[in-house]
Amino acid sequence: MILFKGSGVALVTPFKDNKPDFDAMEKLIERQLRRGTDAIISCGTTGEASTLTDEEHIAVVKFAVDKVNGRVPVIGGSGSNDTNHALEMSKALADVGVDGLLIVTPYYNKCSQTGLIKHYTHIADNVDVPLIMYSVPGRTGVNLLPSTVKELAPHPMICGVKEAGGDIAQCVAIAAYIDDDFALYAGNDDMTVPMMAIGGSGVISTVANIIPYEMHLMTRYFFDGEIKKAAELQIKYKPVIDAMFCEVNPIPSKAALNIMGLIEREYRLPLCEPSNKSLYDIMKVLTEFDITN
């Protein structure tokens, strides 16, 4: 089962007075749906899941499920460096109605590839919604190797992998395991079209927080056979993508959304305000591309 095809937004979690801001979140979700986003991913890396309490995490995902109300798939992030905790969160998010789960490789304790196989298999054996594995070695210190993907892809509850390692050769190797029940998603916005060119189903996108329609259109062009138009959008919006990663994600995206009047510019420590230089770069690209609200 492929959960979605196209551009899924890794939605930020807006805060106000150090609590999730559900009013702002509703506006963000409706904006995404009006502008064509193909899936909502709640409480991933961009959603600052690592600093949410379990109760907040579940409440944020439930809010997304309820507000989307079946219009597009909602995928909840439930990864942890503790397999039992990841399973508990996966079950909790399944209970609030997610269509799928996004589960990052365990971080900090840096398990072996055998440990990754055991981790994902244990969770997949005990949940009743499909899951997407998530490899982002730059953050976790763990690389989900193609041989490990090969081992896990046949599991009936494992429906894909988000690849954010930035190694196109590894992505090509993983593409060998794509089929009707297993999808490959770009985890880096600047690799969206290259990943679709090797058989990927689209992108789980940070920059879609800022330019949802353009990221949706990029994937639609590609799947409709208008490859040149897709490539032109990929190239055109590279400066926007770069600006949204001028500091660690999601600091720039939340700053941009604040400048656009959509959320408070509030983070949870250890994330903090961007530098003045980064703010200048973000404002500059929003102005140059006429990105408002």
Using CA of residue 193, residue 220, residue 239, residue 135, what is the dihedral sign?
negative
Tell me, what DSSP letter sits at residue 82? S
CB 49 within 8 A of CB 84: no
Question: Which of 90, 83, 144 is CA-nearest to residue 114?
Answer: 144
Region label for 166, one of left (φ > 0), alpha (ψ between -120 and 50) or beta (otherwise): left
- The kind and range of the H/E element at 55 are helix 54-68
Determine which one of 120, 134, 237, 267 is catalytic.
134
Tell me, what DSSP letter sits at residue 103? E
Q: Hey, which residues does 161 pair with through a beta bridge?
A: 133, 184
CB 107 within 8 A of CB 140: yes
- Residues of 199-214 as b/e, b for ≥16 C-beta within 10 angstroms? bbbbbbbbbbbbbbbb
Give every CB contact of residue 168 below 8 A, 6+ residues apart in sequence: 191, 194
Instruction: Assess whether 162 carries a catalytic annotation.
Output: yes
Please give the Cα distance from 84 to 92 (Å, whole number): 12
Cα–Cα separations (whole angstroms), residue 106 to 92, 126, 186, 214, 223: 19, 18, 19, 32, 33
Active site residues: 134, 162
